[in-house]
Structure 1
């Protein structure tokens, strides 16, 4: 009986030599990587010994294997760190504690035995896990600690919160369990989400600034010498007389294009599905709306929906406020959200409606398609985003997506970076 798949894959500490066999016949890759075929029983191919295989099985199985497999002296810290988190799996399944002595914990307790000098409070566990595992594995263990095992004491202590590694996955897990947390964790949740949002904004904002920098004006030269304004065709023509005998061109006159600023304001209406499966998309949508709100010439309306529609435009500039206000879960009525957007249109030819959803419509598909057709015929530009996270591997209702495309909505699976580029093309 294994604790979890993650424990099985990641039981090898950072710094171990090679990729030894993990339970299930695969190999435990570093940083939580995917399992691969086991090596053959040959030293030249990196096959592991019987003792090493037993060691790994012991780390995976935990204290339930204590009577048959002992923990080596060098694995005490690793065993206790794994046990602090993954023994909770046994507890959740209703298993009683096994006999003490060789394994983790003792009769009537699921608390792990602690080697000398090891602090397995929440903060101590966090430090141990960070030092023993590669970063990607550590990040995944944080997510499971909060999202799967309810290790919410991590969020009560400010020092522990600062020690956590901010990641999209961690923020997503917090958004999904936020409604179950008490007030003592509110500050911790806010701080983690703030750190994740800051990181995402730092990465995405330059892409939006570049994409929204105005339309290229090739009739005028620019004194603003930046890469995005570089005019390679004019530069080549201007330096044709500087080609040496070997065919190399000496570039002395570098040309740049000017950019026309948008004279008219665009309305960008972002409709975000906040059903339970959309946490990651909600995170990126809130950040994108926040960035857009700070750009000149763009008016942003941010709307969250499930079976109800909530206008969050007053918080569009504050992604953290949006995320802490959103209520993930419930059904989905896309038609209602699109009809709401229809009522907000002031100048159809200067309006973009971006729908972020998995397209699993719980309302009327025919009403949804009718609203999309009306918007399209009026001149509104429509984009359906099947995903708005970094993986760009969405799971969505392909039938509804196809019908939306036929009704005039451009449907795509875009990363946030590509969404910025698409929006820049539309608004140019």
Structure 2
């Protein structure tokens, strides 16, 4: 005999397994039927028998589905379901509906969908989308600003004491030596009565150029977002001449917008072909002092243009004394998806090849500026 607990477990398994389990576990009813209907869109095929059928031809619009999910689940769960729907199925009508944009929690997945569909947006939708973009960019800037800036803060000089009492300047060794006589007789522990701080020697980055060129193809969405944020932070340092170039088969120089990363991202358009060689040649034209220039090319290196042009441009930059960094990814995961044959060829021609997170890129750039030429970035391609 099946008890109430067993029946509850069976109902939960039915929600997990979907319609394929109807014969064994029964069809859901009432509130559970609503749950099943809302979860249907997240099936792998995005439109099977269980699908909620989002879109103009289905049973619910994106806005209706979001409202349904938010009424059925706690906010944290609902936000994750919407983000997953955006990641897996696009839900393009969501980012073209100002009411839907206002209802959903901003996320990087939603930002990617906005960038993918920006050219289709009416002025009213673009206004709502701008609010979402600003929210996500603000969160990313807040999270990444300190780790990206830190390598350029300078190095502590223990020979030069400082009255600037901040944690980054704290000198633990000097502090311990200065307080060795201050021991609590009851506990035997050292008592710090006079904390000491060191000055910092600013890195000599004033004359260095960092040119970031990022591939706008659809698979590079995460790297496009993080390239824009990282370049904006570089620009804000005031000690580097930062440039940002976005490319597909055309090249768009976004440098003059770096003070406003929201405008930068609204200026890119994901998708389209790829002509990496053309972009690298453009970057080479921006270089003023090759030995004080770092050209960062972010792409999967599946070249849609002439690979001979790409290789010639990379070789020319390397031979001129510029530092060339070819990144298969620039995001917080540093995940790699790259044409390994092309990556090996670029490495042979003098480029450093790999994948990085934004803070790793900042550390790498700072080491180059300090005259330390890294042997290769993290996760270097074979």
TM-score normalised to the size of structure 2?
0.79
Where 1:386 maps in the other structure, the secondary structure is strand
Flag the 1:247–1:88 CA change in 2: closer, same or farther, 3 A.
Answer: closer
1:285 to partner: Cα distance:
0.8
Q: Which ranges of structure 1 fall in alignment gaps of 5 or more residues? A: 1-47, 98-102, 113-119
Question: Structure 1 67/135 Cα, relative in aligned 2: closer, same or farther at 3 Å?
Answer: closer
CA RMSD, 1 decimal: 3.7
Aligned residue for 2:198?
A: 257
Instruction: State the partner residue of 1:111.
Output: 59
Counterpart for residue 116 of structure 2:
176
SS of the equivalent of 1:411 reads strand
Q: What residue ranges of structure 2 are gaps of 5+ in the alignment?
A: 371-382
Could you tell me how far apart the structure 1 residues matched to 2:58 and 2:191 are? 73
d(CA) in 2 for partners of 1:65 and 1:408? 61
- 1:79: which partner in 2? 36
1:268 offset after TM fit, Å?
A: 1.3
- Cα distance change, pair 154–307 in 1 and its aligned pair in 2 (3 A): closer
Cα distance change of structure 1 residues 133 and 57 upon mapping to structure 2, 3 Å threshold: farther
1:114-136 Cα distance to aligned partner (Å, 9 max, x none): xxxxxx83562252255276266
Partner of 2:175: 235
8 Å Cα contact 2:14/2:21 also seen in 1: no
Cα distance between partner residues in 1 of 2:273 and 2:330: 20
**Are positions 1:413 and 2:355 aligned together?**
yes
Structure 2 residue aligned with 1:294, among 236, 248, 261? 236
Q: Which of 114, 134, 144 is 1:204 aligned to?
A: 144
Sort the Cα spacing of 1:367 and 1:89 in 2 relative to 1 into closer, same or farther, 3 A: closer
Cα shift at 1:280: 1.0
Say if 1:169 and 1:351 are closer, same or farther in 2 by CA, change over 3 A: same
Establish whether residue 379 from structure 1 lines up as the match of residue 327 from structure 2: no
In structure 1, the partner of 2:13 is: 56
Deviation at 1:273, TM superposition (A): 0.8
- Give the C-alpha shift of residue 251 in structure 1: 3.4
1:69-148 matches, cutoff 5 A = 69-82=26-39, 85=41, 111=59, 121=64, 124-128=67-71, 130-131=73-74, 134=77, 137-143=80-86, 147-148=89-90
Alpha-carbon distance in structure 1 between the residues aligned to 2:12 and 2:240: 60
The equivalent of 1:9 in structure 2 is none
CA contact under 8 A between 1:58 and 1:69: conserved in structure 2?
no
Distance 1:183 1:202 in 2: 28
Q: 3-state SS of the aligned residue for 2:211?
A: strand
TM-score (norm 1): 0.72
- Quick check: 164-173 or 358-367, which moved more? 358-367
Partner SS, residue 425 of structure 1 = helix
CA contact (8 A) 1:387 1:414 kept: yes
